[in-house]
């Protein structure tokens, strides 16, 4: 689905500025056997630019199962207050759905939008939103607001949701509705609200970022911009932790890295350091470093097929790593050298990425950076792990389900990390990573 915003206007205040596109990927050409070819990078850039993704994540099934058997937390006043606010918002959504005359407030509407996006991720059904803004120059008398809200109520379906996000700003959420449906809806409102001056914009998920559309209009309407309700995978001390942690790790690991470099150079022809194009935050390509663990100048066709089948949930056969479920790493890869098998098992091959951390291209903790041809097979919601969070050397996937979970569950872990990223979370993941690496759990 092409990512586009459509604009509709009524009266002299209509805005016909055209669609706004955000380039999510710039091209980076790196020739040679150890990097991705430029055509793959450029094709991925075109696809990501055309398939931008909205925020929201699907909770892990296994996490839900653990939660159901876990002892209940002590009902502290803070916890009771949070539960009360959540319950009040949920009741407001349910009442608005049962009562076609009800209009949701901003908090309830945004919560509903996130829920419907997650539902769309699972069902792959389109989800559309239409945003209306009354002309502020004409004033906002109560009679005008009432008339316009009445017009919207008369044209919305029973399955639609109507929200009021600010003075003169209304939003209608259309589940199971494609772009053509929002165009028809806007035309009906234009006929019903004849004489009122307003502008309207519509977008369809997953091709468009619905919350981005809402946020941009709210920021231009108010003096103080409001933060999006989702996490961004960043916090104040994250860069400080990355720099200090990478420098300390490089000093401690220097002898191991020197021995590894010598072993790689003596046992197989080719460069010691493997360079490859990967996608960072915002899908910006960068050069990714590892100790070479495979024979040089070998084609990557086998890995391309493996990744495609893995992402699509197909049977990957004997190529999967040992363990239950689908695996993100190949175990029976004929390209791996004897030394390479050992450094992959111990994760020593990842140590050169500390240089990527110092350069600011990666973080110590975050999702693993994908290869461009991997991202070409992503579903729209998968792209969020590329667009929103800086990639890392380790993450939730490595310490919770390393090489033992499906690709979809790995993406859900990445999105969960982006939602809950903090200094405490990063420190716990780093400590658990040390234990996992020492036990050689799931590496291969």
Q: Is the distance from CB of 290 to CB of 274 less than 8 angstroms?
A: yes
Q: Which residue has the higher pLDDT, 241 or 91?
A: 241
**Residue 41: pLDDT band with limits 50, 70, 90:** low
Output the pLDDT for position 53.
40
Q: Is the distance from CB of 361 to CB of 280 less than 8 angstroms?
A: yes
Output the pLDDT for position 175.
92
Q: Is the distance from CB of 175 to CB of 125 less than 8 angstroms?
A: yes
Residue 279, phi then psi, degrees to nearest 5: -105, 125
Output the pLDDT for position 82.
56
> Max CA-CA distance within the chain?
83
**Residue 227: pLDDT band with limits 50, 70, 90:** very low
**Residue 343: pLDDT band with limits 50, 70, 90:** very high
pLDDT in tens, 202-222: 888 866 667 666 766 665 544
- How far apart (Å, rounded) are the C-alpha atoms in residues 108 and 313? 35
Q: Which residue has the higher pLDDT, 385 or 349?
A: 349
Q: Which residue has the higher pLDDT, 68 or 309?
A: 309
Residue 19 pLDDT more than 50? no
pLDDT in tens, 249-276: 999 999 999 999 999 999 999 999 999 9
Most confident of 58-67, 244-253, 340-349, 386-395: 244-253
**Residue 137: pLDDT band with limits 50, 70, 90:** low
Kindly state the DSSP code that residue 222 receives in the 8-state scheme: S
The H-assigned helical ranges of 238-332 are 238-267, 301-312
* Sequence spans of domains, the chain: 6-25+56-63+89-221, 238-439
First to last CA, the chain: 37
Q: What is the mean pLDDT of the chain?
A: 75
Q: Is the distance from CB of 195 to CB of 143 less than 8 angstroms?
A: no
Burial (0-12, 13-18, 19+ Cβ within 10 Å), 85: exposed
DSSP string, 348-366: GGGTTHHHHHHTTS-EEES
DSSP string, 310-374: HHHT---GGGBPSSSS--SSBSS-TTB-HHHHHHHHTTGGGTTHHHHHHTTS-EEESPPPPPHHH
**Residue 287: pLDDT band with limits 50, 70, 90:** very high
Output the pLDDT for position 223.
36
Return the CATH number of 6-25+56-63+89-221, one of 3.40.50.300, 1.10.10.10, 3.30.70.270, 3.20.20.110.
3.30.70.270
Average pLDDT over residues 125-144: 81
**Residue 224: pLDDT band with limits 50, 70, 90:** very low
User: In Å, how far are 38, 279, 313, 404, 419 from 325, measured between CA atoms?
Assistant: 33, 26, 10, 6, 25
Q: Is the distance from CB of 371 to CB of 36 less than 8 angstroms?
A: yes
Output the pLDDT for position 208.
63
Cα atoms in the 13 Å half-sphere on the side-chain side of 142: 0
Output the pLDDT for position 228.
35
Output the pLDDT for position 194.
87
pLDDT in tens, 354-373: 999 999 999 999 999 999 99
**Residue 296: pLDDT band with limits 50, 70, 90:** confident
Count of CB atoms situated within 10 Å of the CB of 197? 18
From the centroid of its chain, how far is CA 272? 33
């Amino acid at each position: 689905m092409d990512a586009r915003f459509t604009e509709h206007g009524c009266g002299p205040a209509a805005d016909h500025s055209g669609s706004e596109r955000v380039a999510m990927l710039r091209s980076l050409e790196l020739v040679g056997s150890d990097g991705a070819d430029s055509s793959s990078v450029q094709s991925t850039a075109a696809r990501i630019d055309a398939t931008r993704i909205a925020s929201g994540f699907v909770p892990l099934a296994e996490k839900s199962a653990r939660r159901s058997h876990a002892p209940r937390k002590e009902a502290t006043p803070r916890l009771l207050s949070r539960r009360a606010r959540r319950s009040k918002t949920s009741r407001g959504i349910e009442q608005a759905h049962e009562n076609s005359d009800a209009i949701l407030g901003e908090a309830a509407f945004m919560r509903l939008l996130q829920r419907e996006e997650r539902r769309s991720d699972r069902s792959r059904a389109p989800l559309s939103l239409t945003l209306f803004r009354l002309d502020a120059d004409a004033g906002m008398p109560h009679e005008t607001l009432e008339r316009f809200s009445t017009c919207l109520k008369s044209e919305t379906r029973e399955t639609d949701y109507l929200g009021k996000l600010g003075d003169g700003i209304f939003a209608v959420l259309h589940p199971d509705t494609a772009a053509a449906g929002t165009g028809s809806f806007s035309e009906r409102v234009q006929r019903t609200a004849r004489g009122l001056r307003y502008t309207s914009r519509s977008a369809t998920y997953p091709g468009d970022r619905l919350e981005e559309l809402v946020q941009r209009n709210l920021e231009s309407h108010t003096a103080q911009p409001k933060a999006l309700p989702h996490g961004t995978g960043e916090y104040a001390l994250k860069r400080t932790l990355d720099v200090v942690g990478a420098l300390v790790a490089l000093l401690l690991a220097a002898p191991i890295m020197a021995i590894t470099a010598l072993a790689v150079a003596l046992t197989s022809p080719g460069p010691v350091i493997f360079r490859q194009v990967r996608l960072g935050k915002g899908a910006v390509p960068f050069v990714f470093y590892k100790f070479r663990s495979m024979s040089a100048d070998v084609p990557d066709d086998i890995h391309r097929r493996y990744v495609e089948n893995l992402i699509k949930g197909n049977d990957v056969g004997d190529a999967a790593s040992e363990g239950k479920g689908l695996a993100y790493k190949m175990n029976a890869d004929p390209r791996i050298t004897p030394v390479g098998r050992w450094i992959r098992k111990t994760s020593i091959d990842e140590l050169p990425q500390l240089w990527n951390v110092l350069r600011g291209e990666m973080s110590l903790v975050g999702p693993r950076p994908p290869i461009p041809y991997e991202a070409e097979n992503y579903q729209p919601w998968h792209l969020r792990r590329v667009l929103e969070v800086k990639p890392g050397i380790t993450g939730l996937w490595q310490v919770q389900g390393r090489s033992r979970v499906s690709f979809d569950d790995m993406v859900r872990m990445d999105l969960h990390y982006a939602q809950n990223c903090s200094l405490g979370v990063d420190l716990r993941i780093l400590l658990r990573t040390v234990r996992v690496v020492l036990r050689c759990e799931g590496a291969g």
